[in-house]
Amino acid sequence: MNRVMSPLDRLLIGADRGLKTLVRGSATAQRPNPASGLARDDSPAHQRRLAAGLMRVNHTGEVCAQALYQGQALTTNNPRIKDSMTSAADEEIDHLAWCEQRLAELGSHTSSLNPLFYAGSFAIGALAGAISDRVSLGFVAATEEQVCEHLREHLNTLPKEDEKSRAILRQMLEDEAAHATHALEAGGVDFPPPVKRAMTLLSRVMTKTTFHL
């Protein structure tokens, strides 16, 4: 018989996952890195700095996604939604690990602002989960749509020679698009355009600040 976890149990598990999300080197991918086996690129320094900035933004986006899912899983009372959020968070860990590995290869680092963005995303996720499952799932769908837009932009911006970063982002795009679709199919509300535009403005703050920091 499975033990029913108390709110404190879930909080402690969430705190543990939070530490693993924020501590460098703690994320372990379950799937092979899409960039494995690709030839090392010898891009000029300015192109590597550009790629590193983009991958740092994407890494922070995955930190936010982890926090969002964990916050929602903490406050929802629907076991099916909780399992869905936990499964999505597990897949996002792959993205975290891949981005961190690529940043290391580029001689760069993850963002120093990650704890701040994690805390804010966790709070938003917990609030959305407490309001209703439809709102929670709708927020997932809208967030993943934003992430997909960023990934498409970055695929067009990356130096052409950087096939390793490109391979990672392509797989991430496929996964994030699936998360958005699943959230809507599970009953998530499709947020109106004004809400999505406001979310776009907030996401721009994250991308502008973490590109360098």
Quick check: is 27 in a domain?
no
Instruction: Identify the band that residue 173 occupies on the pLDDT scale cut at 50, 70 and 90.
Output: very high
Instruction: Identify the band that residue 2 occupies on the pLDDT scale cut at 50, 70 and 90.
Output: very low
The CATH number given to whatever domain includes residue 111 is: 1.20.1260.10
Distances (CA, A) of 131 to 66, 71, 82, 181: 19, 12, 14, 21
pLDDT tens digits, residue range 85-118?
777 777 788 999 999 999 999 999 999 899 998 8
Answer whether 179's CB lies under 8 Å from 84's CB: no
pLDDT tens digits, residue range 136-170?
888 888 888 888 988 999 999 998 889 999 999 99
The total number of structural domains in the chain stands at 1
62 is in an annotated binding site: yes
Answer whether 31's CB lies under 8 Å from 157's CB: no
- Note the pLDDT of residue 201: 80
176 is in an annotated binding site: yes
59 is in an annotated binding site: no
Instruction: Identify the band that residue 1 occupies on the pLDDT scale cut at 50, 70 and 90.
Output: very low
For residue 48, the enclosing domain spans 7-21+43-210
User: Whole-angstrom Cα distance, residue 213 to residue 139?
Assistant: 27
pTM for this entry: 0.85
The percentage of the chain sitting over the pLDDT mark of 70, rounded to a whole number, equals: 90
185 is in an annotated binding site: no
The percentage of the chain sitting over the pLDDT mark of 90, rounded to a whole number, equals: 25
Average pLDDT of the chain? 83
Quick check: is 155 in a domain?
yes
Q: Residue 102: name the closest of 149, 156, 34 by CA.
A: 34
Q: Indicate if the pLDDT at residue 31 is higher than 80.
A: yes
Quick check: is 35 in a domain?
no
- Note the pLDDT of residue 127: 87
- Note the pLDDT of residue 166: 94
Quick check: is 30 in a domain?
no
